[in-house]
């Protein structure tokens, strides 16, 4: 499969002249995204996601490093006609209707008249914006309708690669789920989606591969299935005999121990079967009782939190 996005050593420093401070928004980023992937670009607020996307689109200029989109250098006009972008929190030209807005953007892609009309209709249908709203002013739209319009706008040129910057942030649960499904459906059309997000549940559902970025640095990247591999087991144990000595022995097996106050019990997480048996043996020897042993699938959220905490040394 061909490479859609290839990033080499991309770096962006912002210098605050007044505070004489330097912010490294993106720090030596290396990343490859293949065609047809829905790629999750994860990070907390301020991690450098938007900055990365803006560099790829030629809106801001890298301090160092380079990137290619569809094998061509950033900012190439031919490439720009094959990609699209939904910025975060865009207001659009809200004195226009969705139809007129898409017509305007279609003209920027130099799509001829009749074809443009066809594409507008197709895009608006794809994002399921109700047809009654097509000719109404965007100003009167709900946030969900605006985001639909935003995605429709990103579909008008039938792009190969879409950059979506937090498309589902701040939506109500229904709109959220629908928009997530629309993004997921792009995969079936063979499109490449570069999805910046911190909505980990969404990403876990729809992305095939992710990268975790933190303070501008790439911490981890991999297939979701690999990242989530390895179950954790939750063990709840109880007993008067669980003295301080036993607790210390338990800690030696797994550091992941939480007291459950209301049950006067302890909750532990073990990483594998050996740890699980060791915990159970120890508790039995101390005359404690094992209340439950439940295997847990990892979630992307856990992986994300662990990865970021480890980096922060927490």
Partner 1 sequence: MGVIYAIARQTVREALRRKIMWIFLVIGVFLISLGPVFGFLSPKDSQTVLRSLGLAAILLAGLFITIVTCIYLIPVEIERRTIYTVLSKPVQRYEFLLGKFLGGFFTVFINIAAMGIVFLAMLYFQEGHHIAPEMARGVMLTFFQMLLLAAITIFFSTITTPVVNFFLSFGVFLVGNLSSVTDTLTTSQNKIAHGVGQFIYYILPQFGNFNVQNRLIHPEESIVNMNAYIVQNIFYSLAYSAVVLAVAIILFDRREV
Which residues contribute to the site for Mg ion (CB under 5 A)?
49-50
Q: What is the nearest approach in angstroms of partner 1 to the Cβ of residue 14?
A: 9
Helix 143-155 and helix 113-126: axis angle, to 10°?
A: 140
Is there binding between residue 50 and ligand ADP (CB under 6 A)? yes
**Nearest CB to ligand ADP, comparing residues 9 and 46:** 46
Is there binding between residue 64 and partner 1 (CB under 8 A)? no
Tokens of 32: 């490859």
Residues between 8 and 37 with contacts to ligand ADP, criterion CB under 6 A: 14, 23, 25
Residues between 34 and 63 with contacts to partner 1, criterion CB under 8 A: 54, 57-61
Residue 61's binding partner, choosing from partner 1, Mg ion, ligand ADP, none, with beta-carbon cut-off 5 to 8 A by kind?
partner 1
Q: Any residues with CB less than 8 A from the CB of 18 and at least 6 apart, and which? A: none
Is there binding between residue 49 and ligand ADP (CB under 6 A)? yes
Q: Which of 4, 31, 43, 102 binds ligand ADP (CB under 6 A)?
A: 43
Is there binding between residue 196 and partner 1 (CB under 8 A)? no
Is there binding between residue 47 and ligand ADP (CB under 6 A)? yes
Residues between 137 and 176 with contacts to partner 1, criterion CB under 8 A: 153, 157, 163
**Nearest CB to ligand ADP, comparing residues 45 and 225:** 45
Q: Which of 20, 21, 22, 91 binds partner 1 (CB under 8 A)?
A: 91
**Phi-psi category of residue 232: left, alpha or beta, with phi > 0 → left and psi -120 to 50 → alpha:** beta
Question: How many residues sit close enough to partner 1 to count as binding (CB under 8 A)?
Answer: 32
Give me the DSSP letters along the chain: --EEEEEEEEEEEEEETTTTEEEEEEEEEEEEEETT-EEEEE--TTSSHHHHHHHHTTSS--SEEEEEETTEETT-HHHHTTEEEE-TT----TTSBHHHHHHHHHHHTT--HHHHHHHHHHHHHHTT--GGGTTSBGGG--HHHHHHHHHHHHHTT--SEEEEESTTTT--HHHHHHHHHHHHHHHHTT-EEEEEES-HHHHHHH-SEEEEEETTEEEEEEEHHHHT-S-EEEEEEE-TT--HHHHHHHHHH-S-EEEEGGGTEEEEEESSHHHHHHHHHHHHHTT-EEEEEEEE---HHHHHHHHHHHHHT-
Q: Which residue has the tokens 């065609």?
A: 35
Is there binding between residue 96 and partner 1 (CB under 8 A)? yes
**Nearest CB to partner 1, comparing residues 112 and 255:** 112
Binding segment toward partner 1, per CB under 8 A, in 99-107, 220-228, 263-271, 276-284: 99-107
Q: Which of 21, 77, 244, 248 binds partner 1 (CB under 8 A)?
A: 77
Q: What is the nearest approach in angstroms of ligand ADP to the Cβ of residue 154?
A: 17
Residue 30's binding partner, choosing from Mg ion, ligand ADP, partner 1, none, with beta-carbon cut-off 5 to 8 A by kind?
none
Q: Could you list the residues that contact ligand ADP (CB under 6 A)?
A: 14, 23, 25, 43, 45-51
- Which residues of the chain form contacts with partner 1 (CB under 8 A)? 54, 57-61, 77-78, 80-81, 83-93, 95-96, 104-105, 107-110, 153, 157, 163
């Amino acid at each position: 499969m061909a490479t859609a996005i290839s990033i080499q050593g991309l770096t962006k420093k912002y210098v605050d002249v007044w505070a004489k401070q330097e912010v490294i928004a993106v720090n030596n980023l290396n990343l490859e995204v293949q065609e047809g992937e829905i790629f999750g670009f994860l990070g907390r607020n301020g991690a450098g996601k938007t900055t990365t996307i803006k560099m790829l689109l030629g809106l801001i200029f890298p301090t160092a490093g380079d990137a290619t989109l569809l094998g061509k250098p950033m900012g190439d006009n031919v490439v720009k006609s094959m990609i699209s972008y939904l910025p975060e929190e865009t207001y659009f030209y809200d004195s226009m209707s969705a139809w007129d807005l898409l017509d305007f953007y279609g003209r920027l892609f130099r799509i001829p008249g009749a074809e443009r009309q066809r594409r507008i209709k197709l895009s608006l249908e794809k994002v399921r914006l109700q047809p009654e709203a097509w000719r109404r002013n965007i100003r009167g739209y709900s946030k969900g309708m605006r985001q639909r319009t935003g995605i429709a706008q990103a579909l008008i040129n039938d792009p190969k690669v879409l950059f979506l910057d937090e498309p589902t942030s701040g939506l109500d649960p229904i709109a959220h789920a629908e928009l997530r499904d629309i993004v997921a459906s792009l995969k079936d059309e063979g499109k490449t989606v570069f999805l910046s997000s911190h909505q980990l549940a969404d990403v876990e559902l729809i992305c095939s591969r992710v990268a975790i970025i933190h303070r501008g640095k790439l911490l981890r990247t991999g297939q979701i299935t690999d990242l989530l591999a390895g179950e954790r087991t939750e063990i709840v144990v109880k007993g008067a005999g669980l003295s301080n000595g036993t607790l210390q022995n338990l800690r030696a097996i797994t550091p992941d121990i939480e007291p459950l106050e209301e049950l006067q019990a302890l909750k532990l997480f073990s990483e594998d079967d050996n740890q699980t048996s060791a915990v159970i043996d120890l508790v039995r020897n101390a005359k404690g009782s094992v209340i439950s042993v439940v295997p847990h699938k990892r979630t992307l959220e856990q992986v994300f939190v662990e990865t970021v905490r480890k980096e922060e040394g927490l």
